[in-house]
Amino acid sequence: DAKTTQPPSMDCAEGRAANLPCNHSTISGNEYVYWYRQIHSQGPQYIIHGLKNNETNEMASLIITEDRKSSTLILPHATLRDTAVYYCIVRGTLYNNNDMRFGAGTRLTVKP
Amino acid sequence: NAGVTQTPKFRILKIGQSMTLQCTQDMNHNYMYWYRQDPGMGLKLIYYSVGAGITDKGEVPNGYNVSRSTTEDFPLRLELAAPSQTSVYFCASRSDATPLHFGNGTRLTVT
């Protein structure tokens, strides 16, 4: 099973910030948190990743709690093109550091 | 760089037929992965490889086989196609320093 938990769906108004949560309570000290998104039926696209510090790039910001058991992906000004399924994964599992398993993700719908 | 290339894009198989889904990457990535995605669902890991000659099972390996004879190629083999294998198949690759790069997928229907 995937080692992350995400809400199945969320809505966001266009132009507002979209905050997508992820729980990863069993994350180990050397595991990174990665976020990807999948638009329609295309291959997933990398967004951002982090270990313990907050991260920002041109697409999004990633906030990781101090205990590292949860994180939030922030799309600061959501547009209609951000409508997609967003996946939070940890790189590696308790059993193997190389397999990368996805959960069901969060389906974000940005509304006009 | 072409990135991760999957062929074919679409395929229809009859029950019991076999086929190979091709995946190649030109980024010299050590790690390669096969996922399947059923309609409305998330991605499930089938097999992965950490380098040429090394493969390992993921979450849903039954009914599939893989090989990794070169760094670039990671074909997925279906020996006896079943309707339950109707899905979209994604190949992905990464290095130690990069995130996963995905191909555009192969849409397989087994009837």
Confidence (pLDDT) at A2: 54
Distance, CA of B102 to CA of B88 (rounded, Å): 13
Interface probe with A: pick from B100, B101, B104, B109, most Cβ of A within 10 Å: B100
A101 at the B interface (CB within 8 A)? yes
Are A101 and A93 in contact, with CB atoms under 8 Å apart? yes
Of A43, A46, A99, the CB nearest to B104: A43
List for chain B the helix, strand, coil content (%; round to 5): 5, 50, 45
Confidence (pLDDT) at A5: 92
Distance, CA of B31 to CA of A10 (rounded, Å): 32
Interface probe with A: pick from B21, B36, B43, most Cβ of A within 10 Å: B43
Q: From the CA of A102, how many Å to the nearest CA of chain B?
A: 6
Strands A106-111 and A9-13: parallel
Cβ contact A44–B100 (<8 Å):
yes
Q: Which residues of A touch B35 (CB under 8 A)?
A: 102
Give per-residue pLDDT as tens, A86-99.
999 987 543 456 67
Per-residue pLDDT tens digits of chain B, which is 111 residues long: 789 999 999 999 999 999 999 999 999 999 999 999 998 888 999 999 999 999 999 999 999 999 999 999 999 999 999 999 999 999 999 988 788 999 999 999 999
Confidence (pLDDT) at A94: 39
- Closest Cα partner for B33 from A55, A14, A44? A44
Give per-residue pLDDT as tens, A26-58.
888 888 899 999 998 899 999 999 988 899 999
Residue B45: burial class (beta carbons within 10 Å; 0-12, 13-18, 19+): buried
